[in-house]
A and B are shown apart, each in its own frame.
Chain A
C-alpha cells in the first residue's frame, strides 16, 4: 500500500504522535500549578483516543508503507496489551509516594513515546523498522529507569540499562546486516522467500545471523544470558516503571521476536507454521530449549536467595520469560497462541504483584521481605490480593496462571518433544512456589496482629482489586481469551501484498 493510503491505517500511532507533540507544548508553555495534572489527563486521553481508534479500525490484514508495517489482528492483540499496561501505570502513578514531588510531565511523555515504539514493534515487517522500534522503546525506557534524579540506584539502573542496551542492539544490528546480506532484502517475507534457495555454504552465516539477532530480542525479553541488566534496573527504577518494564516492553519483545523468527526462520507450508527451519542439519528448537531451560533455572534459583521484593520479582520475571520460551522451541501456531495467552494473563498477575509492592512501600516504606511480617493483619484486603497474584505467578489453580502454564506445557507435550524440558519446567515451578510462598508466609504466618488496620480509597487500591478479577476469572472461564488469541493469529503467516 502506498504512503498516502497507509495513513488511515496508521491513525492510532499518529494520534499518539500528535498527543506527544501537544504535551511537549503544554510542558514548556504551561508553568502554572496544575501542570502535572493537565499532562496526566492529556496522556490518559491519548491512550483512550488510541484505544477508540483501535476499536473502530477495521482490521484489514495488510501491510502499509510499502510493506514496512503490518496492520493485522496479531499486532492489534499486542496493542491492547500495551494500552492496558500503560493505562494501569498512568492510573496508579499519581498515588505513588516514590514519585511524589517529582515533576512528572516528562514521565508521562516518555511513556507515551514508549507506547508508540511498542506499537511499531508489534507490527514491524521490515528489518529497519525492527531496529528503529526497539531503539524507540529502549531510549524511552532508559530515561524512565533513571527518572529519580536524586536517587543513586535509579541513576545506576539507567546507566546499566544504556550500556547493555547499546551493546545488544549493536550486536543485533550486525545480525540483521548479515541477514540482509544473505537475502538481499529487508522485508521479512522477501527474506523468507530468498532463504528457500540460498547456497549451502551460506547456511553457517544464517546460523550466525540468527544467534546475533537473538541477542537483541533476548535482551528485550530478558532471556539468559542477556538478562544481567534486569535485576539492577528493576531494583533501581521507580517501582511503577519496574512494573511497566516487566510487562509491556517484554510483551513487545515477544511480539517482535515471534513474528520475525516465525516468518523468517519458520517452516510454514500452507500458511501454517509448523517448526523451525533446519539450518545445517541443526534443529534450532534444541538451541531454544537450552536457552529456555537456562532462563527459567537461573531466574528461579537466584530468586530464592533474594531479600528485596523488587529484586525477587525481577528474577521471577526472568523465570517467566523462560516458561514462555519453552513454547518457542516448537514454533507452531499453537505455541504462538500459548505465549500470547500467557502474556495476557501475566500482564494482570505481574502488574498486580508490583502494585501491591508499591502499596506497601507507600504506607510503610518497606522493600525487604522480612519487613513484610504481619502485613496480612494490617492490610488484609491487599494482602489477600497479593496472595491471588502470587498463586497466579506460581501457576496454581484456580488462577489464570495455571491455565496459561497448562497451555505452555501442552505445546511441548502435543509435539512429543523435549521431555526433559517439560520436567525441568515443572521442577522450576516447584522452586518458584518456595519463594513466592516465602512472601505470603511473612505476610500471614509471621509477625503479630497489631489490631491496627489500614484502609484507603486511593486509585491504587482500586486498581489492585480490579486486577484480581481477571486473574481469577480467566482461571475459571478462559475460553473468551483463548478464542480471542486464536482469532488474532488467523492470518499471521499469510504473505502481505507489498
Chain B
C-alpha cells in the first residue's frame, strides 16, 4: 500500500531538491549588490515599514466590483463561443441563454452607471 504513494514522495523530493538547488546556485553564482532598497523585504513595491492605520480609497473596492461585472462576462463568453457552432445547429436556445445572461449583467452595468460610479471627480 505504501508503494502506491512512492510516486508522490518522489515528486516531493524532486520539488524540494529543485528549489534547494536554485537557492544554492543563486547564492554561489549571483551578483551581490547590498543597498538599502535591495535589502528591504519585498512587498510589491510598497514601503514595508509604514503606519498601518491608513485609509484606502473606497474606489479601489468599487473598481474591483465593477471589474467583476466584465470579468465574469468574458470568462463565461469564451467557452460559450467555443461550442457555439455545434449547438446552434440543434437549437437557437444557446443564443437566448447567453442573451439573457448579458441582459442581467447589463442591468448591473446600468445600475453602477446611474449610481455615479464612473464619475471620478
Q: A22: nearest residue on chain B (CB-CB)?
A: B107
* Interface assignment of B115: CB less than 8 Å from any CB of chain A: yes
Interface centre among A17, A24, A27, A29 (most CB of B within 10 A): A24
A1-35 to B contact mask, C-beta < 8 Å, 1/0: 00110000000000001000100110111000000
Q: B1: nearest residue on chain A (CB-CB)?
A: A201
Q: B113: nearest residue on chain A (CB-CB)?
A: A28
Size bracket of the A interface: under 10
Q: A29: nearest residue on chain B (CB-CB)?
A: B114
CB atoms of B110 and A28 under 8 A apart: yes
How close is B58's CB to chain A, nearest CB, in angstroms?
Answer: 13
* Interface assignment of B104: CB less than 8 Å from any CB of chain A: yes
How close is A117's CB to chain B, nearest CB, in angstroms?
Answer: 15
> Which of chain B's residues have a CB closer than 8 A to the CB of A25?
107, 110
How close is A410's CB to chain B, nearest CB, in angstroms?
Answer: 47
* Interface assignment of B93: CB less than 8 Å from any CB of chain A: yes
Which residues, 13 to 68 on B, are CB-close (under 8 Å) to A?
none
* Interface assignment of B111: CB less than 8 Å from any CB of chain A: yes
CB atoms of B114 and A28 under 8 A apart: yes
Give the contacting residue for B104; candidates A3, A21, A28, A29; CB below 8 A.
A21
Give the contacting residue for A27; candidates B91, B97, B104, B111; CB below 8 A.
B111
In Å, the complex CA distance between A28 and B115 comes to 7
> Which of chain A's residues have a CB closer than 8 A to the CB of B107?
21, 24-25
> Which of chain B's residues have a CB closer than 8 A to the CB of A21?
104, 107
B76-119 to A contact mask, C-beta < 8 Å, 1/0: 00000000000000010100010000001001101100110000
Q: B103: nearest residue on chain A (CB-CB)?
A: A21
Which residues, 20 to 72 on A, are CB-close (under 8 Å) to B?
21, 24-25, 27-29
CB atoms of B93 and A28 under 8 A apart: no
In Å, the complex CA distance between A29 and B115 comes to 10
Interface centre among A4, A21, A27, A29 (most CB of B within 10 A): A21
In Å, the complex CA distance between A195 and B114 comes to 52
CB atoms of B110 and A3 under 8 A apart: no
In Å, the complex CA distance between A458 and B19 comes to 72
Which residues, 77 to 129 on A, are CB-close (under 8 Å) to B?
none
Give the contacting residue for B93; candidates A4, A17, A24, A27; CB below 8 A.
A4
Q: A201: nearest residue on chain B (CB-CB)?
A: B1
In Å, the complex CA distance between A17 and B104 comes to 9
How close is B96's CB to chain A, nearest CB, in angstroms?
Answer: 9
Q: B110: nearest residue on chain A (CB-CB)?
A: A28
> Which of chain A's residues have a CB closer than 8 A to the CB of B104?
17, 21
CB atoms of A3 and B93 under 8 A apart: yes
Q: A2: nearest residue on chain B (CB-CB)?
A: B93
In Å, the complex CA distance between A477 and B13 comes to 71
How close is A4's CB to chain B, nearest CB, in angstroms?
Answer: 6
Could you give 6 example pairs across A and B, Cβ below 8 Å? A17-B104, A24-B107, A24-B111, A27-B111, A28-B111, A29-B114
A residues engaging B (CB < 8 A)? 3-4, 17, 21, 24-25, 27-29
The 6 closest A-B pairs by CB, nearest first: A28-B114, A21-B107, A24-B111, A24-B107, A4-B93, A28-B111
Query: 16 other contacts beyond A17-B104, A28-B111, with CB at 8 A cut-off?
Result: A3-B93, A3-B97, A4-B91, A4-B93, A21-B104, A21-B107, A24-B107, A24-B108, A24-B111, A25-B107, A25-B110, A27-B111, A28-B110, A28-B114, A28-B115, A29-B114
